Structure 1
Amino acid sequence: MVVARRRYTVYFLATFLALLKASLLLANGKAFAYPSIAKPLGTWINNNSDSNWDTEELTLKPILVNGDFVCGFHCKLEENNNCLFAISIFHFVSNSYTNLKMVWSANRNNHVGGGAKLLLSQQGDLTLQDVDSTLVWSTKTAGKFVSGLKLTDQGNLLLFDGNNEIIWQSFDHPTDCLVLGQSLVSGQKLKSNFSTTEWSEGLYSLLIDNRGLFVASVESDASLVYCLSPCSPLKSTTGQFYAEFTNTSLGDGLYPGLGVSFIQLGSDGHLRSFRWVESEWKEVYDLLEDQVRQCDYPLACGEYGICSASGCNCPEPDENETTHFKLINPDQPSLGCSPYVPISCKSHLLEINNVSSFTIFWLDNCYITDIESCKQACLKNCSCLEVDTFYNISVFLKVSSSTVRKRRQNVGVILGSTLRATFSVLLICTFLLLQIKEDPKDAEEDYLGHISGTSTRFAYEELKDITNNFSNKLGEGGFGCVFQGTLADGTQVAVKCLDGFGPGKKSFIAEVETIGSIHHFNLVGLVGFCAEKLQMHLVYKYMCNGSLDQWIYCRDKLLVLGWQCRRKIILDIAKGLTYLHEGCKQKIVHLDIKPQNILLDENFNAMVSDFGLSKLVGREQSQIVTTMRGTPGYMAPEWLNSTITEKVDVYSFGIVVLEILCGRKNVDRSLPEEDAHLVRLFKRMTEDGELLDLVDKYNEEMQSHAAEVVEMMKVAACCLQVEYARRPSMSIVVNFLEGKMDDENKYNFSNPPAPVEVETLGHQTDTATLIPSVLSGPR
């Protein structure tokens, strides 16, 4: 009886509050005089009426409204034939709808006009027809027993059946935005608008690939990737990766900021989050800012534009001081440049030196022969506009041979963009050159000639036999999948299959050159490789216990690692890095040390793997300048200046040591905000003298050796110093771990300062002395 009364009381209060809220909303005006659900046999016509919502940019005829979302016909002002059936998020302020922000549309590439109809048929199909009854868009759900159409308070438009099961939903068909609570699933794409004023699809897309990586690319050619970012997504029961947009993150790799309502892929390729501030939607965070420099965005400076730290400009004059290009608008240099004389087949190539990044690769296969052949091929092809040399040393841009005016221009030398016209002819260029190409086997041999220190070479058919036609998948690496196989002598191997274009090919070259000629017990051995046309594979010794992350984050008591095992793993990693930094003819900086790249054999010996991002450094070089690479959360602060030493590996090692000792991820969004970042928590616990609380709580042996574990944490603290010169070398770390420190090799491991928090890619923390690039804005 008491329970029944309580239930009745709760029900009464809930009903009263709902009615009160509805009354308040109705009092605010016509914004809330619309239903959120419609039944079949519904028809809505796009016409002018007193109930339309007029803003400074468009007229909206509402159909369904729920919370802060409205769906209906959106028409541009004075353009009655430029209308979309769409969903917008809004804030109703003083009878004003000036703050509508479109977050989904059905017909962005096929606009309708006045008199267009939206129909929900008795058969369950939702269709959009233009004024002449032409079918423009459909959910294709006829015959699926649809009971109604609903707009949820999260902004999801859905069709449901008699059991309230979802038949179709707009969340499965995103356009350029994600709203709070929505997930991006592998197989789906965000596609930008063409411009801030043009609603049709634009140049850029963002997706999650089958490796669980965010991939931002030029939509007309998915191989033109300008951002490849780990997102640590979840895997659904169907095996698909997905990244949920929550209050604090998109997946577990991109951070939109607090209080945001939606994320939008802009017409400039930037991925931005927005929240309501006072009376308008304001940008909170550029989610790719830490991973993509401004000059790395395609068309950052428009057609023919050159992007540099000083801004946008046109290519410099040639050796004869002939100027070929001019700014379209000197007051808006980001609009790009135009040639003084139209480019024709009678052209020559203008060389632009010292290029550090180039968005468009004209014919990716050019560098497998020689640059002169590529230049000549380009000059013979009227569609070709530019040639990129191997590793982006310089760019050759096609210009007219006609005499034009001469003028000196003081411009930068980083070519960050090129013609949109190039996008449509890249495949044609590739096809034509492949037709006149030499025998593929000869080209392949030329390509392999660039690789030094190679091991056993396998034929592709051999690898199919070894892996039983690639049937036993072990996992997914940075640029492809990994399969288990068995050699003829019974040796177990792991075969990594790399993508044939772009980063995959460079990763292949880097790995073979780096580890094909070096041998160390704590480095994964390369057994051999395969390179046939676009087939690129690396064959490694098989490590039966997989990667370290599968063990240190695990909560299964049967799989946890004890203190002595973890201590040895730390020493093994240190020895492997010492060999890379000091034991090779050329210093090797790994650049991607993380638990996923530490593999364990049957005896839990740890070996460093995945050299796809590594960098060879001459012994005489104290520092190198290179493009940013690595995994967010493990990258040293000096990456923000792109000038690095081998001490970036020491910093990453420090993060890994903390993860091993604490039994948790560097960033764990399931924890309260103040504890989510391990380095930030480590700093606080160090200052408060509470490091014992950080020792892995799920392992009894770790708890019983807590004092020793805390001493090991001091090694991590030394490795995490902001100033790289204050970090110990890996050989000093090894000596300390082995108890071999002497007076000539002193380093203060006994009482290191707490690591100062800085902002590294993907994570924002605080520090007393921040470098200018950190202070430039929210990350």
Structure 2
Amino acid sequence: MYDAVEEFLQSQINLIPIRYSYSEIRKMSKGFKDKLGEGGYGSIYRGKLKSGPLVAIKMLGNSKANGQEFINEVATIGRIHHVNVVQLIGFYAEEPKHALIYEFMPNGSLEKYIFSREESIPISIEKIFEISLGVARGIEYLYRGCDVQILHFDIKPHNILLDENFIPKFSDFGLAKIYPTNDSIVSLTTARGTLGYIALELFYKNIGVVSYKANVYSFGMFPTWVYGQFSKGNDIELEDALEEKKKIVKKMIIVALWCIQMKPSDRPSMKKIVEMLEGEVECLQMPSKPFLSSSPVRPTGDVGDNLNSTSSSFQ
């Protein structure tokens, strides 16, 4: 795997991120003293560049999988620059260690704001909507804005980081795949991603082919009980909420429900999703029930996204 990593790096003629030495990494992290998090990939530490900006340093483990994750990260975000994708500043690649250096996101991940029960982490409905729109634009860019299409395959609140202005940025491209822009069907041997966010076609081939619509599904994850609430004509309980806030919430829920339609062909494109979020809620229609009652796997956790009942308009 280390040979594969080095061969990959040598093949990247126009590589933008800087290659650092281990001593430079250790110095910018002050001896890896300030740990920000830890996972199956390794550990993340706070660091600081000589020029002043703070960075997040992801030290990868020694497994073959982490070697492939390193290649995926550098191959994807190492070649693009977008306001809704975290910037890869540099890397370290010498046996037996690998490291990735990203811009520092002071407000952490979206997960702690929408799943936390702590009252000390407030976030407004308007801000959640802005974040949702930013995430949608980021996914659309990965699909249509690059010279290739990048499928993330692990879109979830944990991998959406927030900068000082709460602008959302995609991170963790370890499971990502790159395809030519003219390829609409993706070839995968196994399902990839996090349970509860993986599109059903990755498990059940008879539902439809695997495509960028799998990312649409992940974007739409919201609690499934909302569908029942709205189909009965009930409003979501929002204490002291103004009518405008209720409209924002309803819009996000309707869009979310469209995104989690079982068949990929029934889900809107990311371009359509952005249009829906930017448009008026009165123009949106409620989609069909996202899951069949006899469906053998019903994702747990959050879900979301949606629009028109005519699948041809979503392509």
TM exceeding 0.5:
yes
Q: 1:576 deviation in Å?
A: 0.5
- Separation of aligned partners in 2, 1:752 and 1:630: 25
| Equivalent AA in structure 2 for residue 685 of structure 1 | Q
Q: 1:621 deviation in Å?
A: 1.5
Q: 1:513 to 1:618 in 2, by over 3 A?
A: same
State percent identity of aligned pairs.
36
Q: 1:682 to 1:701 in 2, by over 3 A?
A: closer
| Alpha-carbon displacement from aligned partner over 1:380-435 (angstroms, at most 9, x marks no partner) | xxxxxxxxxxxxxxxxxxxxxxxxxxxxxxxxxxxxxxxxxxxxxxxxxxxxxxxx
Larger Rg: 1
Aligned to 2:229: 685
Q: 1:632 deviation in Å?
A: 0.1
Q: 1:641 deviation in Å?
A: 3.7
3-state DSSP of counterpart to 1:545: coil
- Separation of aligned partners in 2, 1:508 and 1:628: 20
3-state DSSP of counterpart to 2:273: helix
Q: 1:615 to 1:555 in 2, by over 3 A?
A: same
Q: 1:702 to 1:565 in 2, by over 3 A?
A: farther
- Separation of aligned partners in 1, 2:119 and 2:136: 27
- Structure 1 residue runs of 5 or longer lacking an equivalent are 1-363, 369-443, 659-677, 742-747, 765-779
Once the two structures are superposed, the pairs formed by residues 496-507 of structure 1 within 5 Å of their partners are: 496-507=58-69
| Equivalent AA in structure 2 for residue 449 of structure 1 | Q
- Separation of aligned partners in 2, 1:452 and 1:525: 19
The counterpart of 1:633, out of the listed 196, 214, 218, is 196
Q: 1:451 deviation in Å?
A: 4.8
Once the two structures are superposed, the pairs formed by residues 507-522 of structure 1 within 5 Å of their partners are: 507-522=69-84
- The alignment covers a number of residue pairs equal to 293
- Separation of aligned partners in 2, 1:754 and 1:590: 26
The range that moved more, 592-601 or 476-485, is 476-485
- Equivalent residues of 1:632, 1:760 under 8 A apart: no
- Equivalent residues of 1:453, 1:516 under 8 A apart: no
| Structure number with higher relative contact order (C-alpha < 8 Å, ≥ 6 residues apart) | 2
| Alpha-carbon displacement from aligned partner over 1:187-237 (angstroms, at most 9, x marks no partner) | xxxxxxxxxxxxxxxxxxxxxxxxxxxxxxxxxxxxxxxxxxxxxxxxxxx
- Separation of aligned partners in 2, 1:452 and 1:653: 33
Q: 1:688 deviation in Å?
A: 2.3
User: Which TM-score applies when normalising by structure 2?
Assistant: 0.85
- Separation of aligned partners in 2, 1:708 and 1:720: 19
3-state DSSP of counterpart to 2:288: coil
- Separation of aligned partners in 2, 1:460 and 1:761: 45
Once the two structures are superposed, the pairs formed by residues 171-250 of structure 1 within 5 Å of their partners are: none
Q: 1:448 deviation in Å?
A: 2.6
Aligned to 1:408: none
| Alpha-carbon displacement from aligned partner over 1:311-338 (angstroms, at most 9, x marks no partner) | xxxxxxxxxxxxxxxxxxxxxxxxxxxx
Aligned to 2:285: 750
3-state DSSP of counterpart to 1:644: coil
Aligned to 1:734: 274
Q: 1:686 deviation in Å?
A: 3.3
- Equivalent residues of 1:544, 1:602 under 8 A apart: yes
Q: 1:704 to 1:733 in 2, by over 3 A?
A: closer
3-state DSSP of counterpart to 2:286: coil
- Separation of aligned partners in 1, 2:14 and 2:77: 8
Aligned to 2:10: 449
1:719 to 2:231 alignment? no
- Separation of aligned partners in 2, 1:759 and 1:649: 21
Aligned to 1:277: none
Q: 1:707 deviation in Å?
A: 3.6
1:654 to 2:194 alignment? no
Once the two structures are superposed, the pairs formed by residues 578-589 of structure 1 within 5 Å of their partners are: 578-589=140-151
3-state DSSP of counterpart to 2:196: coil
- Separation of aligned partners in 1, 2:9 and 2:271: 34
Once the two structures are superposed, the pairs formed by residues 5-404 of structure 1 within 5 Å of their partners are: 368=4
The counterpart of 2:171, out of the listed 602, 609, 614, is 609
3-state DSSP of counterpart to 2:231: helix
Aligned to 1:594: 156
Q: 1:557 to 1:486 in 2, by over 3 A?
A: same
Q: 1:691 to 1:720 in 2, by over 3 A?
A: farther
| Equivalent AA in structure 1 for residue 273 of structure 2 | V
3-state DSSP of counterpart to 2:197: coil
| Alpha-carbon displacement from aligned partner over 1:253-291 (angstroms, at most 9, x marks no partner) | xxxxxxxxxxxxxxxxxxxxxxxxxxxxxxxxxxxxxxx
Q: 1:617 deviation in Å?
A: 1.5
3-state DSSP of counterpart to 2:219: helix
- Equivalent residues of 2:226, 2:253 under 8 A apart: no
- Equivalent residues of 1:632, 1:761 under 8 A apart: no
| Equivalent AA in structure 1 for residue 135 of structure 2 | I
Q: 1:481 deviation in Å?
A: 1.0
1:644 to 2:210 alignment? yes
3-state DSSP of counterpart to 2:287: coil
- Equivalent residues of 2:59, 2:99 under 8 A apart: yes
3-state DSSP of counterpart to 1:624: coil
- Separation of aligned partners in 2, 1:689 and 1:452: 57
| Equivalent AA in structure 2 for residue 705 of structure 1 | K
- Separation of aligned partners in 1, 2:265 and 2:287: 14
- Separation of aligned partners in 2, 1:472 and 1:525: 21
- Equivalent residues of 1:635, 1:761 under 8 A apart: no
- Separation of aligned partners in 2, 1:634 and 1:628: 11
- Equivalent residues of 2:149, 2:180 under 8 A apart: yes
| Alpha-carbon displacement from aligned partner over 1:504-534 (angstroms, at most 9, x marks no partner) | 0110000000011101001001001110112
- Separation of aligned partners in 2, 1:761 and 1:602: 36
- Separation of aligned partners in 1, 2:178 and 2:242: 38
- Separation of aligned partners in 2, 1:481 and 1:445: 22
3-state DSSP of counterpart to 1:705: helix
- Equivalent residues of 2:38, 2:44 under 8 A apart: yes
3-state DSSP of counterpart to 1:509: helix
Q: 1:601 to 1:685 in 2, by over 3 A?
A: same
- Equivalent residues of 1:494, 1:541 under 8 A apart: yes
- Separation of aligned partners in 2, 1:555 and 1:633: 20
1:705 to 2:245 alignment? yes
Q: 1:735 deviation in Å?
A: 1.9
The counterpart of 2:91, out of the listed 529, 537, 540, is 529
Q: 1:499 deviation in Å?
A: 1.2
Q: 1:616 to 1:554 in 2, by over 3 A?
A: same
- Separation of aligned partners in 1, 2:203 and 2:171: 25
| Alpha-carbon displacement from aligned partner over 1:562-612 (angstroms, at most 9, x marks no partner) | 011111000110011010011011111110000000000111111111111
- Separation of aligned partners in 2, 1:581 and 1:648: 12
User: Which TM-score applies when normalising by structure 1?
Assistant: 0.36
3-state DSSP of counterpart to 2:133: helix
- Equivalent residues of 1:637, 1:759 under 8 A apart: no
3-state DSSP of counterpart to 1:722: coil
- Structure 2 residue runs of 5 or longer lacking an equivalent are 302-315
CA RMSD of aligned residues (A): 2.5
Q: 1:737 to 1:761 in 2, by over 3 A?
A: closer
